[in-house]
Every structure is written in C-alpha cells, then in structure tokens.
Amino acid sequence: MVGMIMKRRNLPGVAAVLLLLTSGCSNGPFDIVSVSGDVLYEDGEPLPLGDYQIKFVPKVESPDGKSHARVATGIVGADGKIQSVTSYKYNDGLVVGEHAVYLKLAGGPNAKAAPVEYMRSKTTPLTVDVSASRQLAIRIPRP
C-alpha cells in the first residue's frame, strides 16, 4: 500500500515531464501556411546547380510584441522546385506576411550562379508576400 501511495504522488510529476517532452517548438502568435513554387532565371531556366538552400526572412510584426518570427529555410531542387520549407517544424511552411528572400549557395562555381546581392539577406531585392499567394514564383537575373 505504501508503494502505491508513492507511485500516485509521482504521477503528476511524470505527467508534467511527459508534457514538456512531447510539446515541440511553438510558432507562437504567428500563422503558418504551406507554400510551393520555384526559383528560376528570368528566362525560365533553373539555376545550373544541384540542391541548394533558400532563406525567407520574415518582415512581419509580432502580434504580441514579444515574439519574433524565425527565418525559414527551404531546399530548391535541380529542377528549380521549392521543397521542405521549414519555419518551426520540418516542412511546416512560412509565416503569413512579407519575407525577404535570398539564396544560400555553396562557394566555388556555385557562387557565380546568381548575382551576389541575391545571396545576402541585407542586399537581396527579392521579396514574397505569403498573404497574397502560397504559390511562389521567384525569378532572378543571370549573373
């Protein structure tokens, strides 16, 4: 009987630990939507690379004044299709609103596949508005 009483006393603690372990990262006060699309040169051809990363820097205000939306990462395949866009949890999508967009290319010859300003968050002219469309058509000039 004493053993059963001890076990019941530990039950709330065990439940609290399990709750913490099973709760993932929260997207806080931000709405997230799945997106799809592509990254191509202005002439419609994909960049001559294998897979590379694309970054989405949110330009949205925090609804609660405390949280900041995370920079999202996606993968662009050799065909130019955007896939696996992740903000908080794998493949969850983008925070609704406007984002600056830049490409993260590996060094060497890959770094010459796009104009340098398109590869930096501070200088990229690319933006997407996820409230207007969930289908992203990102076009860049050839270097």
Domains, the chain, with CATH or none: 32-140 (2.60.40)
Per the CB < 8 A criterion, the answer to whether 82 and 39 are in contact is: yes
User: How does pLDDT run across 43-101, given as a tens digit for each residue?
Assistant: 999 999 888 999 999 998 877 788 889 999 999 999 999 999 999 999 999 999 999 99
Over residues 20-44, mean pLDDT: 77
Percentage of the chain surpassing pLDDT 70? 80
The Cα 117–Cα 123 span in angstroms is 5
User: Would strands 36-41 and 52-58 be described as parallel, antiparallel, or unpaired?
Assistant: unpaired
Contacts of 55 by beta carbon, 8 Å cutoff, 6+ apart: 71, 72, 73, 74, 101, 102, 103, 104, 121
Measure the CA–CA gap between 87 and 100, rounded to whole angstroms.
14
* pTM (two decimals): 0.78
* DSSP β-bridge partners for residue 32: 95
